[in-house]
């Protein structure tokens, strides 16, 4: 079976360079293949923090370190990859049915999530064994 970490990829965002400061754009249908229904961001993560630790049934997402850096470990139940987010010009696009953990937050990091669904706890896998069972059975 083809694993789902393959469609997780780094997206280089178009940057409008200006001596007054750069401007990056994320547009539905261009950099991402979903309409953004929700945005959330995180800040104030202590460096030793581990966040995430869940998967989604339907939700697609683009994760951007708008300031600072962190690592995202992704796992589709078959294989694992680690992505480093360390520039606001770069986003991590993720498909559904991928477990993710975030680690190694640099001090002052601000992470931004652009996601395809409104908040719905029933879309979450919070239990890794349940995720693994469904991911491996092709749910």
Buried residues in 51-75 as b, exposed as e (16+ CB within 10 A): eeeebbeebbbbbbbeebebebbbb
Site for ligand TYD in 31-70 (CB under 6 A): 38, 40, 51-54
**What is the smallest separation between the CB atom of 7 and ligand TYD, expressed in angstroms?**
21
**What is the smallest separation between the CB atom of 8 and ligand TYD, expressed in angstroms?**
16
Cα angle, residue 85 at apex, residues 84 and 87 outer, rounded to 5° = 135
- Per-residue contact track with ligand TYD, 107 to 136, x per CB under 6 A? ------------x-----------------
Residue with tokens 């992505």: 83
Query: Which secondary-structure segment (H or E) carries 135?
Result: helix 128-136
- Per-residue contact track with ligand TYD, 72 to 111, x per CB under 6 A? ----------------------------------------
**CA-to-CA distance for 74 and 56, rounded, in angstroms?**
12
Query: Which secondary-structure segment (H or E) carries 131?
Result: helix 128-136
Nearer to ligand TYD, 51 or 71 (CB): 51
**What is the smallest separation between the CB atom of 43 and ligand TYD, expressed in angstroms?**
12
54 catalytic residue (yes or no): yes
Nearer to ligand TYD, 22 or 80 (CB): 80
Neighbour tally for 48: CB within 10 Å: 8
Catalytic residues: 54
Site residues, ligand TYD (CB under 6 A): 38, 40, 51-54, 119
């Amino acid at each position: 079976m083809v694993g789902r970490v393959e469609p997780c990829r780094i997206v280089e965002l178009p940057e409008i360079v200006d001596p007054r400061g750069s401007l990056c754009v994320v547009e539905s249908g261009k950099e991402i293949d979903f309409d953004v229904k929700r945005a959330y961001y995180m800040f104030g993560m202590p460096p030793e923090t581990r966040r995430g630790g869940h998967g989604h049934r339907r939700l697609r997402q683009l994760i951007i370190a708008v300031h600072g850096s962190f690592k995202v470990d992704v796992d589709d139940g078959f294989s694992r990859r680690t992505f480093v987010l360390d520039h606001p010009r770069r986003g991590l696009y993720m498909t559904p049915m991928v477990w993710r953990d975030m680690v190694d937050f640099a001090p002052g990091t601000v992470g931004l999530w652009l996601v395809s669904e409104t908040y719905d706890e029933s879309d979450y896998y919070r239990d890794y064994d349940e995720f693994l069972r469904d991911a491996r059975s092709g749910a």
